[in-house]
Amino acid sequence: MSMPRVLLGMSGGVDSSVAAILLKEQGYEVIGYTFRVYDSVSEDCMKKQKGCCTVESIYEARDIAEKMGIEHHIIDLRTYFKETVIDHFIRSYLDGNTPNPCSECNRYIKWGKVFEKAKEMNCEFVATGHYARVMQNETGFFLSQGKDEDKDQTYFLWQIPRSHLSKTLFPLGELTKSEVREIALKHGFEKVAKKADSQEICFIPDNDYRRFLTENTDVLPGPGNFLSVDGRVLGQHKGYPFYTIGQRKGLEIALGERMFVTRINPETNEVTIGQQGDLKSSGMWVRNFNPGKYVQLTSGQKFDVKVRYRSSRIPATIMEVNEEILVHFDLPVDSVTPGQSAVFYQGDDLVGGGVIVKSIE
């Protein structure tokens, strides 16, 4: 009897490496892949770069797969990645929004092109090292948060098509990060076990998105006005795409007190700054909702919602359900940022998610 084949994303890090170990122990035939999505500038040859999809990480993943006796493939998705994830990233900033490229990558790449590749390779399942769980009830499959609340990554997974969940495996869903590192050590992968987590956007390994925008688009606006919350001109900024809601550092304007970006107006190239209290929102509008647990949204329903990855869950009520969803928070929330994901939960279970259109004072 042949073992079921699973196509596993491998980045050279501890999470995907331990996922491979666990899948092999569970009896799967593991086929590893690392996708090639972006070639950094020539500095690649001059210094080490961080990130899950750099040239260095591809070689690290291949070496780990070889040590485990796992077949490994490099999938070249550079053109498609640019047309989807990178172009969306640039358009979002030009629209005055702050994008979430990991969510877009999961939709178009890991559960898009890679899912198609799995079928071509006769793999029954796809797997990643995400901290999340696939659950099932009488209505079908859905996502639930991982055991390690601090590492839970369901916030980035809300765009996965529900139809793909029955063929998705998350081997780390029942583990904490410390347990994952212990497993790597136990199996002789000491270097991998001690490897730091990647915090950068994979196609911006130096984490300087302003440089990336400057080098990858020729339609950036020039300087514009910083405004106070009551409309007074306070000074000049370098162009609205270089700012995000809640930003405090890097404003390069001295007003004698801590100031934060509270609003971005791409039509006038104006950036409003104010005090921390000016960041409070009572609610938000959300679009492109993707249901995750076969829940039909109706006005008056209460959920917990996350408006960014590292934020706490916030009790909220659905006020209106049309093409866009109006959400009202139980308590005011800081830095609700257009372009970021709004992800809704019932307990540990992911109800669905969407993209924040605008905040409500």
Position of tokens 């709004």?
342
For the record, the structure tokens of 307 come out as 């408006």
For the record, the structure tokens of 162 come out as 């529900």
pLDDT confidence of residue 54: 60
Question: Is 105 a catalytic site residue?
Answer: yes
* pLDDT tens-digit series, residues 257-277: 999 999 999 999 999 999 999
| Geometric angle at alpha carbon 325, from 321 and 330, rounded to 5° | 105
Question: Is 102 a catalytic site residue?
Answer: no
For the record, the structure tokens of 312 come out as 């706490």
* pLDDT tens-digit series, residues 63-122: 999 999 999 999 999 999 999 999 999 999 999 999 999 999 999 999 999 999 999 999
Question: Across the chain, what does the average pLDDT equal?
Answer: 92
Instruction: Please tell me the distance from the alpha carbon of residue 192 to that of residue 60, in angstroms, as a whole number.
Output: 10
* pLDDT tens-digit series, residues 221-239: 999 999 999 999 999 999 9
pLDDT confidence of residue 205: 81
DSSP bridge pairs for 290: 353
Question: Higher pLDDT residue, 345 or 295?
Answer: 345
* pLDDT tens-digit series, residues 123-153: 999 999 999 999 999 989 999 999 999 999 9
Band of residue 55 on the pLDDT scale cut at 50, 70, 90 = low
Instruction: Please tell me the distance from the alpha carbon of residue 301 to that of residue 318, in angstroms, as a whole number.
Output: 5
Task: Provide mean pLDDT across the span 328-356.
Answer: 97
For the cut 60, the answer to whether the pLDDT of residue 203 exceeds it is: yes
Band of residue 326 on the pLDDT scale cut at 50, 70, 90 = very high
Domains for the chain: give ranges and CATH numbers. 5-193 (3.40.50.620), 221-274 (2.30.30.280), 280-360 (2.40.30.10)
* Catalytic one of 52, 53, 123, 202: 202
Residue 222, burial from CB neighbour count under 10 angstroms (0-12, 13-18, 19+): exposed
pLDDT confidence of residue 47: 41
Report helix angle 87-94 to 209-216, nearest 10.
100
* Catalytic one of 52, 53, 105, 123: 105
Band of residue 36 on the pLDDT scale cut at 50, 70, 90 = confident
pLDDT confidence of residue 199: 72
